[in-house]
Amino acid sequence: MKIWSVLIVLLLTAAAASADTVVMKNGDHLTGTVEKSDGKVLTIKTEYGEVALPWPAIKEISTDAKIYVDTADKKTLVGTAKTEGDKLVITPASGPSATVALTDVKAVRSQTEEDKHQQQLHGTLLQNWAGGASLGLGLARGNSETTNLSTGFNAVRSGEHDKILLYEASIYSSDRSMSNPTTANDIRGGAAYQRDVTPRFFGFVSGDWEYNGPQELDLRSIYSFGVGVHAIKKDTTNLDLLAGINYTKESYSTGVDRNLGGLTLGDVYMHKFGKSTTLNQDFYVYPDLTDTGNYRMAFDLAVVTQIHKWLGWQTTASDRYLSNPIPGTRSNDLILTTGINVAFGPH
C-alpha cells in the first residue's frame, strides 16, 4: 500500500508540474494551459476558467506542451517555449532552438487551436460552419382562430481570409375570423461573401431576396458588390463598414415591375456578452440612383442566449422600409419573433 501511495503522489506531482506558466510584469503568476494569442492578448486556461492577459504586460512564459508561434517574418515555429529576457526561445522535439523577440510574436496556438487553424485554411466548403435555426409557433382555437408561425436561420463560414454568410427570416399569421384571413406572410433571405484584400480591408458580393404577400410583392432581388473595412476585429466584438453599388429588381402582383440602380451603405456588427449571449446586427441603406430621392432600408437584429451547447433562446427583429411603396400599401414592414434556437458548429 505504501508503494501505491508513493506512486500516486509522484503522478499527481508530475501532473501539477506539467502546467504552463505565465508571469506578469506586476509579479502575478498563472498556471494552466496556454491556448492562443493574437500578439495583443494571450489566453490561458486555468482551473478557474479562461483568462485573457495583455501581451505587452507579460514578463515570462514557460510551456511544457508544444505550441505554434507565428513570427513577424511569416515563419511558424513549433516546440516548447520559454522566455529569456525579452525573447521567446522555441525548442522543437528535434533540432536546434529558435529565438524570436516577444514584440515580433504575431500569434500563438496550442495544438487544439492549431487543428482549428488548419481546418480554417484547408477545410472544404461544407466545413467550418456555425449558426442556428429558430422556430416560433402560436395557435388559438375556440372563440379565436389565429395562427402565428415564425422561422429564422443564420449561418457563417469563417476562413482565414474570407467569410460566407447566410440568413433567412419569415413570419406567417392568419385570423380566420377576418374576411382576408392572412394578415402577414413575409419571407426574407440572403447570402454574402467577403474576401480580405488586406488585414483591414475586404471586398464583398451579396444577394438579398424578399416575398411579402400583404405588400403584394412577388419578389424583390437586390444584388450588391463593393468594399468594406474591419473597423473592429476582436474575439468578442466585430464591426464591418461596407459601401458599394447594387442592382434591384422588384415584381408586384399588381403588374408593377421596377429595375433600379443604387448605392449600398451599411454595417455588420457582432458582440458577445459573456459566454452565453451573442448579438448580431446588420443595417443597410440603399439610396436610389435611378429614381433619386427615394431609398430603401434594411435592419436585422438577433440575440441568442445559449441554454445548452446546442439549445438556446432567440429573439429577432427584421425591418424593411421603402420610401415609395406601391399605392395602397405601407412603407414599413417589421418582423419581431422569439423562440427556441438550435445551434450547430463549434461552441
Confidence of residue 22 (pLDDT cuts 50, 70, 90): very high
The pLDDT assigned to 122 comes to 66
Confidence of residue 15 (pLDDT cuts 50, 70, 90): very low
Helix (H, G, I), strand (E, B) or coil at 234: coil
Checking phi first, is residue 42 left (phi over 0); if not, alpha (psi -120 to 50) or beta? beta
Give, as one character, the DSSP assignment of residue 103.
G
The pLDDT assigned to 209 comes to 95
In a 13 Å sphere around the CA of 130, the CA atoms on its Cβ side amount to 10
- Of the candidates 176, 244, 260, the one whose C-alpha atom is nearest the C-alpha of residue 206 is 244
What's the CATH fold of domain 131-344? Porin (2.40.160)
- Of the candidates 229, 226, 224, 253, the one whose C-alpha atom is nearest the C-alpha of residue 240 is 229
Helix (H, G, I), strand (E, B) or coil at 239: strand
- DSSP strand pairing (201-212 vs 182-196): antiparallel
Quick: pLDDT tens for 76-118. Answer: 999 999 999 999 999 998 889 999 999 999 999 998 888 877 7
Evaluated on CA atoms 213, 215, 219, 225, the torsion sign reads: negative
- C-alpha of 218 from chain center: 31
Q: How many helices (H) and strands (E) does the chain have?
A: 2, 22
Measure the CA–CA gap between 136 and 324, rounded to whole angstroms: 31
How high is the mean pLDDT of the chain? 86
Give 336 or 57, the one with higher predicted confidence: 57
Contacts of 8 (CB under 8 A, 6+ apart): none
Q: What mean pLDDT do residues 117-143 have?
A: 76
Evaluated on CA atoms 73, 77, 82, 84, the torsion sign reads: negative
> What whole-number percentage of the chain has pLDDT above 90?
46
* Backbone Cα Rg of the chain: 26
Q: What mean pLDDT do residues 239-247 have?
A: 96
Confidence of residue 7 (pLDDT cuts 50, 70, 90): very low
The pLDDT assigned to 339 comes to 83
Give 303 or 235, the one with higher predicted confidence: 303
Per the listing, cell 444584388 goes with 223
Which pTM was predicted? 0.70
The pLDDT assigned to 345 comes to 72
φ/ψ (deg, to 5) at 255: 100, -5
- Cβ atoms of 168 and 189 closer than 8 Å: yes
pLDDT for residue 258 is more than 70: yes
Q: What mean pLDDT do residues 240-263 have?
A: 94
Count of beta carbons in the 10 Å neighbourhood of residue 47: 7
Measure the CA–CA gap between 111 and 114, rounded to whole angstroms: 5
Quick: pLDDT tens for 27-85. Answer: 999 999 999 998 889 999 998 888 989 999 999 999 998 999 999 888 999 999 999 99
Please report, for the chain, the start and end positions of each structural domain, with discontinuous segments joined by +.
19-122, 131-344
DSSP 193-250: EEEESSSSEEEEEEEEEEEETTTTEEEEEEEEEEEEEEEEE-SSEEEEEEEEEEEEEE
C-alpha cell at 40: 495583443
C-alpha cell at 156: 457563417
Confidence of residue 9 (pLDDT cuts 50, 70, 90): very low
The pLDDT assigned to 125 comes to 63
φ/ψ (deg, to 5) at 44: -120, 135
- Cβ atoms of 304 and 311 closer than 8 Å: no
pLDDT for residue 13 is more than 50: no
The pLDDT assigned to 250 comes to 94
- Of the candidates 289, 302, 293, 282, the one whose C-alpha atom is nearest the C-alpha of residue 206 is 282
Stretch among 24-28, 145-149, 244-248 having the lowest mean pLDDT: 145-149
The pLDDT assigned to 10 comes to 44
- DSSP strand pairing (295-306 vs 129-140): unpaired
C-alpha cell at 105: 510574436
> What whole-number percentage of the chain has pLDDT above 70?
92
pLDDT for residue 3 is more than 70: no
Confidence of residue 204 (pLDDT cuts 50, 70, 90): very high
Count of beta carbons in the 10 Å neighbourhood of residue 310: 13
The pLDDT assigned to 159 comes to 78
- Of the candidates 51, 106, 53, 102, the one whose C-alpha atom is nearest the C-alpha of residue 81 is 102
